[in-house]
A and B are shown apart, each in its own frame.
Chain A
Amino acid sequence: QSALTQPASVSGSPGQSITISCTGTSSDVGNYNFVSWYQQHPGKAPKLMIYEGSERPSGVSNRFSGSKSGNTASLTISGLQAEDEADYYCCSYAGSFTFVFGGGTKLTVL
């Protein structure tokens, strides 16, 4: 299993929108609607932000949304806020009861 591909970094100004991509293969992202996204602040445990591609857990701001096209999933954050600055990871079910994470994307709020 190879890690899913994410951009190393993205940035945006407060109030803007950004999108983080997560590219896999037809064996993982492209074959299942089971991509989840996690936010991780330094020294903290990851936090679930999106599951099953586009579902938001209770308590997560509706500024966070997810989508998928083919082998690429995307996380969009609208109305950027300072507290959104963190690392973001995608994760996909990869069949045979296994999972694979993306390499992570560092979001900087300018």
Chain B
Amino acid sequence: QVHLVQSGAEVKKPGASVKVSCKASGYTFTDYYIHWVRQAPGQGLEWMGWINPNSGGTNSAQRFQGRVTMTRDRSISTAYLELSSLRSDDTAVYFCARVVTRGTHFDYWGQGTLVSVSS
């Protein structure tokens, strides 16, 4: 069955960077885009961007452009989200989710990774 397993919680200081991983199993990694969605404490879901694991192509929400880097390692079916210049309002649970190529809905989600930013 399909699984997306994310890396563990992180604590970072303002101005630092964080890299979260999302390991896929149970399907062909390159058949589905990996999207990243975050959720600040007590808040709603916020779409951040996607990576095409086949080509490595990416796209992100305008508000994150310049601060977010999405990469993948096809050999281990893992996608990565790196967010730089962290601020306190980046404290959130970060989810990865898959979307079939040319699809428009997130059918499987990772368990989430809490990133806490505090001095």
Chain A residues with CB under 8 Å of chain B are 1, 3, 32, 34, 36, 38, 40, 45-48, 51-52, 57, 89, 91, 93, 96-104
Contacts and interface: CB of A to CB of B under 8 A. Distances in A.
Interface string B35-57: 10100000011110010000000
B106 A38 contact: yes
B104 A51 contact: yes
Given A98-B61, A99-B35, A45 B109 contact: yes
Contacts of A34: 104-105
A52 B106 CA distance: 11
B106 A48 contact: yes
| Interface size classification for chain B | 20 to 34
Contacts of B59: 96-98
Contacts, number: 60
The 8 A-B pairs of least Cβ separation, nearest first, read A51-B105, A34-B104, A36-B105, A45-B109, A104-B44, A99-B47, A101-B45, A93-B104
A38 B95 CA distance: 14
A36 B45 contact: no
Nearest to A48: B107
A39 to B, nearest CB: 11
A91 B50 contact: no
Interface string B85-118: 0000000000101000000111101111000000
A96 B47 CA distance: 14
Given A1-B61, A1-B62, A46-B95, A101 B106 contact: no
Contacts of B46: 3, 101
Contacts of A98: 47, 59, 61
A26 B105 CA distance: 19
B47 to A, nearest CB: 4
